[in-house]
């Protein structure tokens, strides 16, 4: 730990993600673009929540702020009750490694690594010993239905299979929350439905918290809470049954 850095708390809380009056303003020449306008949001442990809205509504900006990939112009973002403001880059990297899982629409797998190695990589960064890594990676790849494909590289797999690898990788460090940015965007509807069912099962059986950014009606229907953004603000926030 570098001088001046504080150890990160491991406090357990029922509030996993919180934004307080979050505003994000970008400059485009002489013009100010308000991507988010005073967003207040709380996501609890075990939620299966979708954030929906048209292009330009602020979904990606909100997820970038929650993931510590960007900083708000005003307001505060907390993950596990830890404020992200003031964290050094090294601390933010550690927070992402330990507490946030990412599933991207473009998969973001390392092409020269196998499925096993892609999922194992975050555990290597954490310093977990080889036997423990092997056990956890095999368990997760089996859980997502890829037990026979662990040694294939991404280009040897379909889009849906690559997304399953990405889901396993997002879970391998047992994060507080998984941020899934348009996870069904680049796959067919049948594969998307199967992946949603998988994530619902992981949510139900392991209590994993999922927060989706989406414009896919299927994802919106599957969510138990649906938040709609419009023009950088929360237009509605509703609980729903969520379709299995």
32 is a domain residue: no
Q: Average of pLDDT values for 24-40?
A: 92
Q: Please, are residues 95 and 82 in contact by the beta-carbon 8 Å criterion?
A: yes
Question: Is 95 part of any domain?
Answer: yes
Mean pLDDT value across the chain: 90
- Quote the pTM value: 0.87
pLDDT at 2: 42
Question: 30 lies in a domain?
Answer: no
Tell me which residue of 2, 48, 72, 5 sits closest to 242, measured CA to CA. Answer: 48
Residue 24: inside a domain: no
In this structure, is residue 204 part of a structural domain? Answer: yes
Assign 126 to helix, strand or coil: helix
Q: Looking at the domain assignment, is residue 105 inside a domain?
A: yes
Side by side, the strands of the sheet bearing 100-104 are 100-104, 177-181, 209-214, 48-52, 225-230, 233-239
What is the pLDDT averaged over residues 193-208? Answer: 88
Adjacency order of strands within the sheet including 15-28? 31-44, 15-28, 74-79, 82-83
CATH number, domain of 215, equals: 3.40.50.300
Looking at residue 198, what is its pLDDT?
A: 87
The total number of structural domains in the chain stands at: 1
What is the domain range of residue 132? 46-68+88-239
- The residue-averaged pLDDT of 189-213 equals 90
């Amino acid at each position: 730990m570098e001088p001046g850095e504080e150890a990160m708390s491991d406090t357990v809380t029922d509030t996993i993600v919180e934004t307080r009056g979050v505003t994000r303003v970008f400059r485009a020449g002489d013009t100010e673009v308000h991507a988010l306008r005073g967003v207040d949001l709380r996501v609890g442990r075990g939620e299966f929540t979708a954030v929906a809205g048209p292009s330009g509504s602020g979904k990606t900006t909100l997820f970038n702020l929650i993931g510590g990939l960007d900083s708000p112009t005003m307001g505060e973002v907390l993950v596990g009750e830890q404020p992200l403001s003031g964290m050094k880059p090294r601390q933010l990297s550690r927070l992402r490694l330990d507490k946030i899982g990412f599933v991207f629409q473009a998969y973001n797998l390392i092409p020269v690594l196998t499925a096993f190695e892609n999922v194992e990589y975050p555990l290597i960064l954490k310093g977990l010993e080889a036997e423990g890594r092997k056990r956890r990676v095999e368990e997760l790849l089996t859980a997502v239905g890829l037990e026979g494909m662990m040694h294939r590289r991404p280009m040897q797999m379909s889009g849906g299979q690559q997304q399953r690898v990405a889901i396993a990788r997002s879970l391998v460090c047992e994060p507080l929350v998984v941020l899934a940015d348009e996870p069904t965007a680049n796959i067919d509807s049948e594969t998307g439905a199967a992946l949603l069912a998988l994530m619902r099962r992981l949510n139900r059986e392991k209590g994993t918290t999922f927060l989706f950014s989406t414009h896919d009606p299927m994802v919106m229907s599957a969510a138990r809470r649906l938040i709609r953004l419009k023009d950088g603000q929360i237009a509605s926030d509703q609980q729903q049954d969520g379709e299995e």
